[in-house]
């Protein structure tokens, strides 16, 4: 049964944050929190400083099956009469992913602009869903340009190549073109209409419970927290709210973002977004706060389902891999979460006598001493509920709910390059989330070298066989991620066409 979001009063559908100022937003509300230190707060347009002379039409070779974007297939006749294939990109082995030349080559040769356009436009034909959409660029000199908008994919691509941003964010669809906001007689006429419902999970929010890494560092052990979070949130969004078009995207360093593109999700106002974020929020309080999980009994079906998903992860990924209570101060934190003082005293005494006792053993000690009768007044039901709350505290998703609450929040685009790691922000297949390796995601320099390594022998084979031209992304490890994105977008477009047909059938013209 779908979860019900309470109706709202139309008078409350707008709040003070709906009208945006011209200045860049505070990072707590208006930008990707993982990279908030990278913003400079400048709105000045900076001239392109690249020295690369490249004809755009010679570089844009994405294939297409419709009339809007012509096919880039190459025949034998075309090859014999055309110019030679593009020369290698000549990126030095020591080149860094932050080099402007590297980023320009990435945008020219690899970024899937066409599929990004279709994903945000919800149609093959340009519409206001794309034309009134805000984009924000972070330039190479850290200048930050807001309220950029483009009527077509090609114009977005050309401007990104010209500006060569280190990354860019995606904002909402507005009532009018964001570039024209200052021409409106009333500032209140410029307001957000729609945006994907988004969620943000960042491993820094797990620093108090992960023992392998901290801050911006990650490893396979602590990435399991992101895996758990994706599993729990994804099934809740699908089963409890009925959303279908959900795409998870690796943030490029230490987290993941969820983009929900269902029309019902895009059109939600801020109050409904807050309701869904509140529904999914269980862990509350900072690192210095006390008990972080306070849920009612009997458990809500969502929490009962989440415990079933998480219990195996708790045993293997938390108790074994993280060993969270190995240190005495951490073990004391565990005791604070248990409901019986006499049981706590017995456990403390046992653990002090065995300083090297593992977290697996300490967790087993709780039931063992409880059954041994160390406390005459132990409430078994209270102990069970306390243990459930502990499992949730150490495994349940720690969401940055502020990202989800407002339409105006900007979030980093899929497939941009993370400025701190050079890794591409690729989609994560939620059906195979266990196999996703964040440390195996290619960096931008690796991808460009892979294009160069494709070699003349492959190009000659294409000519001899008269086969369809191989796109640059297909020559690299980016291919499976772009293919997944293309499939996701195709499903979304078919669903949008179905919605339009239903609307036409439901609202016939009357005479």
Catalytic residues: 134, 200, 202
Q: Which of 273, 281, 274 is nearest to 300 (CA)?
A: 281
CA dist 24 and 11 (Å) reads: 27
DSSP string, 436-453: --GGGSPBHHHHHHHHHH
Which CB contacts under 8 angstroms, 24+ apart, belong to 359-363? 359/318, 359/319, 359/320, 359/322, 359/323, 359/324, 359/325, 359/326, 360/315, 360/319, 360/320, 360/323, 362/325, 362/331, 362/334, 363/319, 363/325
Beta bridge partners of 443: 423
Dihedral, CA atoms, 4, 5, 11, 14, nearest 10 degrees?
-150
Judge if the upstream peptide bond of residue 298 is cis by omega within 30 degrees of 0. Answer: yes
Residue 258 and residue 248 in contact, taking contact as beta carbons nearer than 8 Å = yes
Q: Which of 188, 153, 194 is nearest to 172 (CA)?
A: 194
Residue 131 and residue 180 in contact, taking contact as beta carbons nearer than 8 Å = no
DSSP string, 76-142: HHHHHHSPPPPPP----TT--TTSHHHHHHHHHHT--HHHHHHHHHSSSS--HHHHTEEEEEE-TTS
- Kindly give, in sequence order, each residue whose CB lies less than 8 Å from that of residue 355, ignoring residues fewer than 6 positions away: 328
CA dist 213 and 252 (Å) reads: 17
> What are the backbone dihedrals phi and psi of residue 135, each rounded to the nearest 5 degrees, phi first?
-120, 150
Burial class (CB in 10 A: 0-12, 13-18, 19+), 70: exposed
Q: Give the count of alpha carbons within 13 A of 314, CB side only.
A: 19
> What are the backbone dihedrals phi and psi of residue 110, each rounded to the nearest 5 degrees, phi first?
-125, -30
CA dist 508 and 511 (Å) reads: 10
What radius of gyration, in Å, describes the C-alpha atoms of the chain? 26
Find the DSSP H helices in 290-415: 301-313, 328-336, 341-353, 359-371, 380-395, 402-405
Q: What angle do CA 129, 131, 136 make, to 5 degrees?
A: 100
Residue 383 and residue 338 in contact, taking contact as beta carbons nearer than 8 Å = yes
């Amino acid at each position: 049964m779908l979860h019900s979001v309470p109706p709202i009063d139309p008078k409350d559908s707008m709040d003070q944050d709906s009208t945006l100022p011209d200045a860049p937003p505070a990072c707590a509300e208006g930008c990707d929190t993982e990279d908030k230190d990278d913003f400079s707060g400048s709105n000045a347009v900076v001239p392109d400083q690249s020295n690369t002379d490249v004809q755009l039409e010679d570089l844009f070779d994405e294939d297409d099956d419709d009339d809007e974007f012509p096919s880039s297939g190459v025949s034998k006749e075309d090859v014999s009469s055309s110019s030679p294939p593009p020369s290698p990109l000549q990126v030095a082995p020591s080149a860094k992913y932050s080099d402007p030349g590297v980023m320009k080559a990435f945008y020219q040769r690899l970024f899937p602009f066409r599929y990004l356009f279709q994903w945000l436009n919800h149609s093959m034909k340009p519409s206001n869903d794309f034309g009134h959409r805000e984009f924000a660029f972070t330039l190479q000199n850290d200048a930050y340009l807001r309220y950029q908008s483009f009527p077509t994919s090609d114009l977005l691509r050309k401007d990104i190549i010209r500006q060569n941003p280190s990354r860019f964010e995606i904002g909402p669809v507005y009532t009018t073109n964001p570039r024209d906001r200052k021409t409106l007689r009333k500032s209140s006429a410029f307001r957000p209409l729609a945006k994907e419902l988004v969620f943000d999970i960042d491993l820094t929010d797990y620093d108090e419970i992960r023992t392998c890494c901290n801050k911006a560092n990650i490893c396979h052990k602590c990435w399991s927290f992101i895996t758990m979070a994706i599993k729990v949130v994804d099934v809740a969004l699908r089963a409890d709210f009925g959303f279908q078009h959900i795409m998870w995207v690796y943030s490029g360093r230490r987290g993941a973002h969820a983009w929900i593109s269902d029309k019902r999700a895009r059109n939600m106002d801020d109050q409904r977004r807050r309701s869904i974020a509140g529904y999914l929020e269980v862990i509350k309080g900072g690192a210095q706060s006390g008990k972080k999980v306070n849920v009612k009994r009997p458990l809500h079906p969502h929490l009962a389902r989440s415990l079933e998903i998480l219990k195996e992860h708790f045993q293997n990924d938390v108790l074994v891999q993280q060993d969270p209570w190995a240190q005495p101060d951490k073990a004391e934190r565990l005791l604070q979460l248990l409901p019986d003082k006499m049981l706590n005293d017995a456990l403390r005494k046992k653990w002090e006598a065995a300083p090297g006792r593992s977290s697996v053993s300490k967790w087993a000690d709780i039931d063992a001493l409880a059954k041994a009768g160390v406390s005459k007044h132990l409430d078994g039901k209270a102990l069970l509920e306390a243990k459930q709350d502990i499992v949730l505290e150490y495994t349940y998703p720690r969401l940055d709910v502020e990202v989800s609450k407002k339409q105006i929040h900007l979030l980093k685009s899929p497939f941009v390059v993370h400025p701190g790691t050079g890794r591409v922000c690729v989609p994560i297949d939620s059906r195979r989330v266990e196999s996703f390796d964040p440390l195996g995601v290619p960096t931008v320099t690796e991808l460009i070298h892979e294009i160069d390594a494709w070699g003349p022998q492959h190009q000659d084979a294409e000519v001899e066989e008269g086969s369809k031209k191989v796109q640059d992304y297909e020559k690299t490890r980016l291919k499976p991620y772009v293919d997944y994105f293309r499939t996701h977008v195709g499903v979304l477009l078919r669903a949008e066409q179905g919605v339009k047909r239903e609307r036409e059938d439901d609202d016939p013209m009357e005479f």
